[in-house]
């Protein structure tokens, strides 16, 4: 059975290449994966459970990465193992980058056998195409989540830097009344940054309290009658 198709990711080529051959990533992206164990370098024992009839069952084999031309292309050699259900084939993988997007082009042949079942090419091809689409979609979603987490982490770091440098050293007044109160009460716990934060808080509270006091005094002053 011949298989071929394409899928475009919104990521750079190097990132996609790493994801397509990284065991930890594949374990979460391959649908129905029951086993993915390294046998030797670039060779893995694989077991995949397919839930769609008439292919329903667990298929076992070994997958090797061969003719590896980093990072733009490689071939997958799939060899069948002993068992009632087997899978074998070979598939070429090519990656093409355009801007921030990478298109994966796959083409090859695949053979699935299931004891006691007659698998027609049309049914087998449809099920395999569905599994491949699920794999690429799962991998794409996983990369999108990783990108979002990285963005949040970067924003947190930037926020910390802004907080640390928001008040220039030349404008700090360690001997101010607010600072003396902070040190007297031990609010900063001998931490210079925490002392500065508490000093700013007390200073803001003092300004608000002073404003409210002026408003209260203003309401108590006798008004002139014209």
Host H or E run for residue 85? strand 85-98
Residue found by looking up tokens 């069948």 in the block: 80
Residues 118 and 176 in one domain: no
The answer to whether residue 210 is domain-embedded is: yes
In a domain, 192, yes or no: yes
pLDDT by 10s per residue, the chain, length 226: 899 999 999 999 999 999 999 999 999 999 999 999 999 989 999 999 998 888 889 999 999 999 999 999 999 999 988 778 888 999 999 999 999 999 999 999 998 888 877 778 888 888 889 999 999 999 999 998 887 766 555 555 555 555 545 545 444 444 567 677 767 777 766 666 677 776 777 776 765 665 565 556 566 556 555 5
156 within domain boundaries:
no
Q: How many domains does the chain have?
A: 2
H-helix or E-strand spanning residue 159: helix 121-165
CATH number of domain containing 40: 3.30.530.20
pTM above 0.85, yes or no: no
Burial of 199 (0-12, 13-18, 19+ CB in 10 A): buried
Q: List, for residues 118-177, the tens digit of each pLDDT value.
A: 778 888 888 889 999 999 999 999 998 887 766 555 555 555 555 545 545 444 444 567
Domain that holds residue 176: 171-220
120 Cα distance to chain centroid:
39
- 140: part of which helix (H) or strand (E)? helix 121-165
The verdict on 38 and 124 lying in the same domain is yes
> Do 140 and 9 touch, CB atoms closer than 8 A?
yes
Question: Distance between CA 79 and CA 90 in Å, rounded?
Answer: 9
Same domain, 117 and 210: no
Is 176 in the same domain as 147? no
């Amino acid at each position: 059975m011949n298989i071929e198709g394409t899928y475009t990711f919104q990521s750079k080529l190097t990132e996609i290449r790493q994801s397509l051959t990284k065991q930890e990533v594949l374990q979460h992206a391959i649908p129905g994966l029951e086993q993915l164990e390294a046998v030797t370098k670039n060779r893995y024992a694989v077991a995949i459970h397919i839930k769609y009839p008439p292919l329903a069952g667990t298929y076992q084999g070994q997958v090797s990465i061969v003719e590896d031309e980093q990072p733009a292309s490689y071939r997958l050699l799939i060899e069948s193992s002993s068992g009632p259900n087997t899978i074998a084939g070979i598939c070429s993988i090519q990656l093409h980058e355009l801007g921030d997007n990478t298109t994966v082009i796959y083409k090859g042949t695949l053979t699935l056998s299931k004891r006691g079942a007659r698998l027609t090419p049309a049914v087998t091809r449809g099920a395999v195409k569905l599994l491949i689409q699920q794999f690429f979609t799962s991998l794409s979603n996983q990369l999108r989540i990783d990108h979002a987490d990285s963005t949040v982490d970067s924003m947190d770091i930037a926020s910390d830097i802004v907080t640390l440098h928001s008040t220039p050293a030349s404008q700090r007044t360690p001997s101010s009344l607010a600072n003396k109160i902070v040190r007297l009460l031990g609010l900063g716990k001998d931490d210079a940054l925490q002392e500065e934060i508490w000093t700013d808080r007390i200073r803001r509270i003092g300004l608000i309290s002073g404003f409210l006091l002026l408003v209260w005094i203003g309401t108590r002053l006798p008004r002139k009658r014209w």
